Amino acid sequence: MAQIVEITDTDDPRLADYRDLRDVQLRKNLEAEHGLFLAEGEKVVRRAVEAGFTARSFLMAPRWLDGLADVLDRSEAPCFVLAEKLAEEVTGFHVHRGSLASLERRPLPTVESVLAGARSVLVLEDIVDHTNVGAIFRSGAALGFDAVLLAPRCADPLYRRSIKVGMGAVFTMPWTRLPDWTNALPDLTAAGFTTVALTLADDAVAIEEAVAGLDRVALVLGSEGHGLSKRWEEAADRRAVIPMREGIDSLNVAAATAVACYITARR
């Protein structure tokens, strides 16, 4: 059972995992160095623990203790309890639903193990926005995709904001980083997947047509701003577009992913 530790001093060194949550660069370094990630909000904290991640500690306002009592019962990590105002001083922002957990990252699985048994896979090249990464995991999970592969520069799906927007989908959806950007798509083709790049390229066909009748599909998505790299766009087995109204040529990447996942899952 988690030990409840009341904290009254915001400089307490035991709160180190929770400092300055709005400073993205600082957090990236700290989380990488210590191999941790943060979950925020009762639902997401519960899902992280239920998915088997080991908690380093919890931090919450007194009124959230009851809601998470069952989770704390099953954990050996300390639970730091402090007034909401003090929690905000430590973290630098309003803590959503008053609860946070710091959890241990796990070694990333191999690409092979993530792809084993998967029939529909999302491949994200350089999605830089954590909100979009979280939204894509959530839509992929809800709409029948089996795994997610991330190019080396894609934003971290275990960053607090990604997890929150994704409602914890990153805990249950198998995913990993692609070690090799250069040959990632040919490697997927060799592994038996048809790679379908979402793009506005001239030879792109409607997404329904691109995925019709395919068995294993890897849906490939580019960056929010400039889309896919030339290399990936050309390396994909097929190029596909979501048909849009005349004169409009773009959807938000999260919206486009939702539509593409829905269509692909029904191929």
- Catalog residues that contact a second copy under the rule CB under 8 A: 135, 138-139, 141-144, 165, 167, 242, 244-245, 248, 250-252, 254-259, 262-263
The secondary element (H helix, E strand) that includes residue 164 is: helix 160-165
Residue with smaller CB distance to a second copy, 77 or 222: 222
In terms of CB distance, is 181 or 262 closer to a second copy? 262
Handedness of CA 9, 158, 140, 232 (dihedral sign): positive
Question: How far apart, in Å, are the Cα atoms of 34 and each of 22, 60, 104, 176?
Answer: 18, 21, 8, 19
Q: C-beta of 75: minimal distance to a second copy in Å?
A: 24
Residue 265: which of 145, 100, 133 has the closest Cα?
Answer: 145
Q: How far apart are the first and last CA of the chain?
A: 48
Nearer to a second copy, 87 or 207 (CB): 207
CB of 202 to a second copy, least distance (A): 19
List Cα–Cα distances, 224 to 28, 178, 217, in angstroms.
Answer: 21, 19, 22
Cα atoms in the Cβ-side hemisphere of radius 13 Å centred on 43: 8
Contacts of 29 (CB under 8 A, 6+ apart): none
Least distance from a second copy to the Cβ atom of residue 192, Å? 22
Cβ nearer to a second copy, comparing 211 with 256: 256
Closest separation in Å from C-beta 138 to a second copy:
6
Give me the least distance between CB of 175 and a second copy, in Å please: 16
Identify which of residues 77 and 143 has a Cβ nearer to a second copy in the complex.
143
